[in-house]
Chains A and B, each alone.
Chain A
Amino acid sequence: MKIAAEVRNLKYEYWPQKMTNPIDIDHLSVLAGETLVLFGPSGAGKTTILRLIAGLLTAKSGSITVGSQDVTGVPPHLRNIGLVFQEPLLFPFNSVIDNVGFAARIRGESRSKARRSALEFLQLVGLADLAQRDVRTLSGGQTQRVSLARSLAARPVVLLLDEPFSALDLDTRSEMQELLIRLREHLRLTMILVTHDQREAAILADCVVLISKGKVLQKGKFEDLYSKPCDHNVHRMMGGKNEVTGFTREGYFHSDLGIMSVPPGSNRDGPAVLLVRQESVLVASATPLVSREGSFLGRVVENRLIGARAEIVAKVHDTFIRAEVAQSNAPRVGDEVLLHIPLDSRWTVSLASATKAHENSNQSYSLVGEAI
């Protein structure tokens, strides 16, 4: 498939430099018709990358290609890129239809022609009946739809979306995500979306790039980042909570939990950290005891409700393991439970990368064996 946008050796320094980590991206690309999601914590540099691609910031070095054109140094109005900001930023002096017809008017089309074409895009986002409305009377979801329609009406090669739904309530956010999926299919849209909502990334992404401190930590399919993180930090950023220190030898991981096999592709022999997602840990009553590889007995020391589910913390020897279970099946504090980590949910990374990641991390996480 054809590459719609590509970034190479992109470097950007903030001013004053000490305040934020500089942007340093070796390579990023998005294929035509696909969605690239830039995912990462606040302050990672995701929005800056979007602004650099859009031409609203000037990179210190590197190149940006849109379609087949090198747009490095090209002003934003000639880049053929759309950007939907977190806030809709509708022009308050224009009606809904004139907001959407703005790009057509800039192109020199007559008001009536611009309005006709704007109406088509308003129909796409389901707001044709609000065409004449004053934009200040719209709801949050409606304004974001108009903003989306306005950007689409400029017919960009690549549409950039900077956390466009983060200010919306959950229901409206879901509606907008579905709308975006429909539009993507209908218009064969190429998108680069910035988000720190995992669910959104999982729903919309063809490829996810995890950004931290201005650098790419890992890129690939969402499932890979989720279940096969390249290091400790990626695991944490993807919401993983279980880390068990030990070592791997000949395909087996040795730790406080015992010995268990690890799938191929995991870390090579040496000091390692086992990364396990809390929702992958199976929890059963301790009786009847069924001894299986990757199973161990623990005692529940904490039980916390998280919506419809419960998160339990079980102590196994000196190690704390977190698991997410259905609220109705959640064991109580003090219960003895049997924990099982399925083979395909085990993933190890080298201890060196984990330690490095830990040192680099802004957040303080408790390593296994320390008090939770």
Chain B
Amino acid sequence: MKTRLLRESTFAPLLGIFFLLPLMPILLWAFADRWTYPGRTPQHWGVRGISQFFDDGGIGSVVKSLLISVAVAALAVPLSSAAASSLIHSKSRASRLVEAILFSPTVIPPFVLVMGLSPWVIRFGIPPTLAVVITLVVLALPYSTFMMRSAYARYDPRWEEEARLLGATRFGAVVRVRLPIMTRAFIAAAILAFLIGWTDYIVTLVIGGGQVITLPLLAASSSSAPGNDSVLAVMSIISIAIPLLALALIRRSDSTLKNEVLSL
């Protein structure tokens, strides 16, 4: 017990330093109006970066990124749940073909997929934001399905059969049995899909055709011009903070969510 405590008390700060050290300059840059070499700290502190972020339409890009990421997660979770369930429980030979198609985005580089899809999006007149969301869902599916598949491997479908024999409808059995048992897997898959949407650059750039401005796109655009270190630092902090905040909220509400589902 003592050894474990000692190990934890030693490794926790080391781990913290490992992750925080690269973030320290970003944090300093976010509040620096001037920081030139060889100064170890900024010469002038200020909020120029923050105001420039607002001026450049940063809030709009954050909202756009959030909407796209949430939409990707919301679509990828039920789709990957259905896919994983059928991959695990189906005895059909066709499930291998489905598996191959489903997991193909992991072996095909995203830019190939994107370049191939782009002409179709233009020719069929699909709204750019919708096209981005659909493409990102396709890219997220292999990962979220992989995550759900391991959860479904431990999930016995007879739980739902038992619920049905106890009076639950097919949908009721899913809500009252599958959902509480699979909550964590659903959350993990949703986070993964959200992150794929949140961090994407290439899909939004090509499929969005410059009309969909998300945070990574804005950051890339800012990084191409000199003197934008402060605003870039602000964008970097936001891009880290949002997923961390989401994780914290989910962790906190995990048990509450479970209880709410059970009381349905």
Indicate which residue in B165, B176, B181 contacts A154 across the interface (CB closer than 8 Å). B165
Contacts of A150 in B (CB 8 A): 166
Cβ of A161 within 8 Å of any chain B Cβ, yes or no, is: no
Q: Are A107 and B165 in contact (CB under 8 A)?
A: no
Complex interface: stretch among A27-35, A78-86, A289-297, A306-314: A78-86
Taking a contact as CB atoms under 8 Å apart, the answer to whether B262 and A83 are in contact is no
Residues of A within 8 A of B168 (CB): 77, 106
With the chains together, A79 CA to B263 CA distance in Å? 25
Residue A140 at the chain B interface, CB threshold 8 Å: no
Instruction: Flag if A89 contacts B159 (CB, 8 Å).
Output: yes
Report if A257 contacts B (CB, 8 A): no
Interface residues on A, range: 20 to 34
- Assess whether A265 is interfacial by the CB under 8 Å rule: no
A77:B262 contact, CB within 8 angstroms: no
Report Cα–Cα, A93/B156, bound state, in Å: 14
Please tell me which one of the listed residues B156, B166, B170 contacts residue A103 in the complex, with CB atoms under 8 A apart. Answer: B166
B177 touching A54, Cβ below 8 Å: no
* Residues of B with C-beta under 8 A to A82: 165-166
| B180 lies within 8 A of chain A by Cβ | yes
Docked-complex contact B156 and A102, CB < 8 angstroms: no
Which residues between 38 and 86 of chain A lie within 8 Å of chain B, taking CB atoms? 54, 56, 75-77, 79, 81-83, 85
A93 to B263, CA, bound (A): 12
Chain B residue nearest to A150 (CB atoms) is: B166
Indicate if the CB atoms of A107 and B170 lie closer than 8 Å: no
The answer to whether A177 has its CB under 8 Å from any CB of chain B is no
Cross-interface CB contact of A77 among B165, B177, B181, cutoff 8 Å:
B165
User: How many chain B residues have a CB neighbour from A under 8 Å?
Assistant: 22
| Residue of A with least CB distance to B156 | A89
CB distance from B184 to the nearest CB of A (A): 11
User: Is B26 engaged at the interface, CB distance under 8 Å to the other chain?
Assistant: no
B91 CB → nearest A CB, Å = 8
Interface assignment of A94: CB less than 8 Å from any CB of chain B: yes
For A94, the chain B residues whose CB sits under 8 A away are 262
Contact B162 A107 (CB under 8 A): no
Inter-subunit contact A54/B167 (CB<8 Å): no
Contacts of B170 in A (CB 8 A): 75
Chain B 113-157 residues near chain A, CB threshold 8 A: 156
Residues in chain A near residue B161, CB distance under 8 A: 54, 56, 76, 83
Bound-state CA distance A89–B165 (Å) is 12
Residue of B nearest to A85 (CB): B158
Instruction: Point out the residue from B91, B158, B172, B258 that lies within 8 Å of A106, measured CB to CB.
Output: B172
Q: Does A288 interact with chain B (Cβ within 8 Å)?
A: no
Q: Which of B91, B162, B176, B180 contacts A85 (CB 8 A)?
A: B162
**Which chain B residues border A107 with CB–CB below 8 Å?**
167
Q: Contacts A92-B181, A93-B258 known; A54 to B165 CB distance under 8 Å?
A: yes
Instruction: Tell whether, in the assembled complex, residue B180 and residue A76 are in contact, meaning their CB atoms are under 8 Å apart.
Output: no
A252 within 8 A of B: no
Most chain-B CB neighbours within 10 Å: which of A54, A75, A79, A85? A85
The 10 closest A-B pairs by CB, nearest first: A106-B167, A103-B166, A93-B180, A76-B164, A77-B164, A83-B165, A154-B166, A89-B162, A77-B167, A106-B168
Extra contacts, 4 of them, besides A77-B168, A82-B165 (Cβ < 8 A), are: A15-B91, A75-B169, A81-B165, A83-B162
A-B contact pairs, 9 of them (CB 8 A): A15-B91, A56-B165, A76-B161, A77-B165, A85-B158, A87-B156, A87-B158, A107-B167, A154-B166
